[in-house]
Structure formats: structure tokens, C-alpha cells
Chains A and B, each alone.
Chain A
Amino acid sequence: MPTVHATIIARGGGSTFHRKNTCRVLGTPIIAYAIQTCQQAGFIDHVFVWSEDEEIRSIARSLGAHALERPHSMVHYYSGFATQEEWAAQRGRQIEVIAGGPGDVNVAFNCNNFLLRPETLAAMHCQAREDEAVGGVIAVAAVEPGLCLKTRDGSLFPFWNDLSVPRAEHPPLYRRTGVAVTFRERFRNGRMALAPFVVSREEAFDLQHAEELPLAEFYLRKRLGLLDSDRPAAGEGC
């Protein structure tokens, strides 16, 4: 049976806002949701959490995941002290000590996408297994048209945005999430394309800013049947 490893790379300081990965939504840290989704998907043998932060590693251990110590020189994307390949090699050495070798199937799980359901992850694995022409699958979600970008003088220029065309008739646009299931052997054989696996906008939720925490709380409350339409919801946060 092929072995399946899930890897969650989590920065202690938070890449977009402070302590993002240990921020609590409905009382549970975001990193915990990511770990539990991988564990509950039912096809993953080992869940590894790679972090330089002891609090994150402690949460991982408490949930039965393997906590890998991440060197401080391998935390910042553009620090210049180590390349992404060196990062992967470092993780690979640590994983080999615990699991005896790399996984045949790898699940890369970005904490930001902690609302992805375990059954969706399992379905991604099924699709990836069946489609041998690709290296794996990546979760994507449809994006509404109606965007713009800023020009040099700060004025707005429409992008994928033409009100004379009905929204439903705009060419489709998708956002890739940070969750992918890949097959190591296929990558080694040059099949590196990732097929898209469409998920709902809710499951593709990508936590980037602290102000989005109420949205995350709403989606979780809805999923758990905790929405109370009559009374104001209590605040949550870090």
C-alpha cells in the first residue's frame, strides 16, 4: 500500500498577520483544524507539522501529529539563506527519521485553507489516484468577476470586469488554494501538472487578514449548526 504523508508548514509569527496559525476560531487554533482535517480524511498515514515555533509544535504533538523543528533560516521565503529545494531536503531528512522514507503520496496543506473538509480531501485523493496523466490535484474555487487593479497613478483599471456582459457569461476564473495531493513517482517521471479539483468558495476560504476571522467563524458556525439568527453572535478572535 502506498504511504501517504501530509505536510503542514506553519510559521509561528504568521506570514500575513501576527500569530495567525495559533489564532483561535470557536476556541480552536487554526493549525489544529488543519491537522484534524488531515487526520479525519482517512487516507493519510502521517501528518507532519514543520514549524520553528514551539507553541505550534506543541499543538501538533497534542493532536498526535509529528512536530518537525524548522530552522530559523528556513522561515522567510526571500531571506536568501536557503532555497525551497533546501527546505524540502531538510524536511525530507526529518521525515525519513520518523517514517523511514518519503511518502508515495504527499498532501501539502496550507493552514490558511483550514475550512477544507476531510471528505473533500479524501475526494481529491481519489481523483488524483484515478487520473494517472497528472502529477496530482489541487483544490480550486470559482472567483466572481468584477475585479480591478491599480495603475501607476493609483487609479483603478477594470480587470475581468465588464458590466455589459452578464456575470455568468464572463469567462470562468478560479483561485488555486494551498491544498494539493501529489504522487511522488509521477513527479519523478515528469508528470508534474496538477489537475484542478473544484471546491466551494467556503471550503476554499483563505485566511489572510485578521479582519477575515468573522467570516471564518460564520462558516464554521454554519457547518456546526451554531448559527443563531435571532441573537447577535459573540465576538471571537486572537
Chain B
Amino acid sequence: MRVTASIIVLERDARDGVRWDARMGGMRLLEHAVARLKGLPLVDELAVLTDCDALCDALGNTLACAGVPVRRLCPTCTTERFDYLTCEESRIRQQLLALEQAGLAGDVHCFGSWRLPLLSTRSWERMYHALLEDRIAARIVPLTTEDPNLYTPLGGDVASGRLFGVWAHPGRDRQEAPQLYRPAEACVAHLGRIRYPQPLTKGVEIAMTEAVTVRTAEDMPLAHFLWARQQAGRACHDSQDGGAGVP
């Protein structure tokens, strides 16, 4: 069985205000995400897939020296965002084409994101095991729970002063509402089952602190704070048992 992995870096992601080369704790966000997946021993091959010229030209060599090649995504593979809940055949075909062109075809693939620099190796491992222990799931994504007390403003503008319960109802306690989840931008996919019609996606709950997604500059201080706490926790663990920590 061949397990491959990739970190997807799209030019359009920078429109939100933060780029893959923003620094956190002395390393680029991309390098944090790469390190987490590189720490997963079951991955046979890892690469960065990108349509960014800057990444291919500059950092590409650096990452390649660290054993992680940078491969260019063809334009047809970047017309849509990588959506790990989709059942649309065209989108899934696009994702599979990207992997084939990058030489990452295999049996199981881990799709990573530089915007999730705190997603731990252990969570990747849990998703991988969850996929292979489920007989029908085609994809596993990391999830966090979301407060179901949700409303939308009548007329589309909150200034109207009136809210309509979307996942709530007057007089009903929020704990009665079925749980909602927020999937993070990562996925472990079974490349055989994903070709079936209507492939099933399931989830593995992860800690809220690991699911922090860096989209804008405002997210950077929080990500840095939580990363620093992870490091402090790991330093404590390492000093206690004298062993090497797992990212």
C-alpha cells in the first residue's frame, strides 16, 4: 500500500491577507505544515503542490534540500478550491489529476494545508487509522464542534433587528439542537473509494487549538500563541522522559 501526502499552496489563498511564507516561531507557515506531515512515518512520499511562481523559484529549492520537492500544479487543477466534502465528479477528478501529474498517485493520500500549521502529526495519524478502519468512508477530515445557536438576519441585514433561527428555535434549548461541525482544510482520502459515486466523507474530532486556520493577519498572533504553548508542552514532555517529541 502506498501512502502519499501533499501540502496545497494556491496563489489565490494570499488574497485573504496572509501568505504561505508568513513566519511563526522562526519558520514559515508552510514549513510548519510540512514538518507535521513529514513526521508521519506511514507517508511514503510528500510534496508541496503549488501554482505560485515564487514558491517554485525560491523556497522550492530549500524544501527540496530538506527532501520535500515542490511541484507545479497545472492550471486546470487550480480552477476550483480543493473541496473535501464535494461529491461532484468534476472536482474529484481535478484533485486526482493533480496527484497523478505530481507523481503522487497511490492508495491513500493526505491533503494538507499551510493554513493549518498546528494540526499535529498525531491527528494525521488518527485520521489515517479512522479511514482504514471504516469500510466505506472515502475521506476523513478533521472536525471541531460548532455552537448550534445559529440565526440569520431577516432581510439579509442584521440592522433589520430581526433574526431567523437557522439551527435554533424559540423556546428550545441549544443543547437540544443536533450538533454542527466545522471541517478543517485537510483530508485523508482513500484514492480507490473516492472514485465511487457519492463518496462518503466522515470526520475525526480534533482539539480546537489544532484547528486554528490562518486566513488573515489577525489570526497570526493566536496561531503563534498556541504554537508556543505546544512547544512549551513538548519541552516539558521531552524533559520528563528524555525522548524525542512527535510534532
Which residues in A have some Cβ–Cβ distance to B below 8 Å? 77, 131, 133-134, 140, 143-144, 146-150, 153-156, 158-161, 163-164, 171-176, 193, 195-196, 198, 206, 208-209, 211-212, 214-215, 218, 221-222, 227, 229, 231-235
Contact = CB atoms under 8 A, between A and B. Distances in A.
B209 A214 contact: yes
Contacts of A148: 85, 143, 180-183, 203
Nearest to B228: A232
7 contacts: A144-B182, A148-B182, A163-B81, A171-B152, A172-B156, A211-B208, A214-B229
Closest 7 CB pairs of A and B: A232-B228, A232-B232, A155-B200, A195-B161, A163-B83, A218-B225, A163-B81
A210 to B, nearest CB: 10
A232 B145 CA distance: 27
Contact of A222 (B149, B162, B221): B221
Contacts of A221: 225
Given A147-B182, A198-B158, A232-B231, A156 B175 contact: no
A224 B31 CA distance: 31
Contact of A149 (B181, B201, B235): B181
Contact of A77 (B86, B173, B209): B173
A146 B81 CA distance: 13
A174 B179 contact: no
B226 interface: yes
B102 interface: no
B146 A147 contact: yes
Interface residues of B, number: 51
B7 interface: no
Contact of A174 (B145, B153, B202, B225): B153
Given A163-B86, A172-B153, A175-B147, A234 B232 contact: yes
A235 B147 contact: no
Interface string B144-171: 0111011111001110011100111000
B201 A174 contact: no
Nearest to A209: B208
B180 A231 contact: no
Contact of B180 (A133, A147, A214): A147
Given A147-B146, A154-B202, A156-B183, A176 B225 contact: no
B80 interface: yes
B49 to A, nearest CB: 18
Contacts of B28: none
Contacts of A231: 228
B222 A215 contact: yes
B152 A229 contact: no
B17 interface: no
B186 interface: no
Given A198-B158, A212-B208, A215-B209, A173 B152 contact: yes
B146 A172 contact: no
Nearest to B86: A163
B80 A163 contact: yes
B207 interface: yes
A150 B163 contact: no
Contacts of B35: none
A221 to B, nearest CB: 7
A144 B219 CA distance: 14
B141 interface: yes
B151 A227 contact: no
B41 interface: no
A156 B180 contact: no
A150 B153 contact: no
A81 B161 CA distance: 36
B152 A156 contact: no
Interface string B119-148: 000000000000000000100010101110
Given A149-B178, A156-B181, A172-B152, A161 B147 contact: no
Contacts of B207: 211
B224 interface: yes
Interface string B203-221: 1000111000000000001
A161 B209 contact: no
Nearest to B165: A176
A165 to B, nearest CB: 11
A87 to B, nearest CB: 13
Contacts of B182: 144, 146-148
A131 B80 CA distance: 45
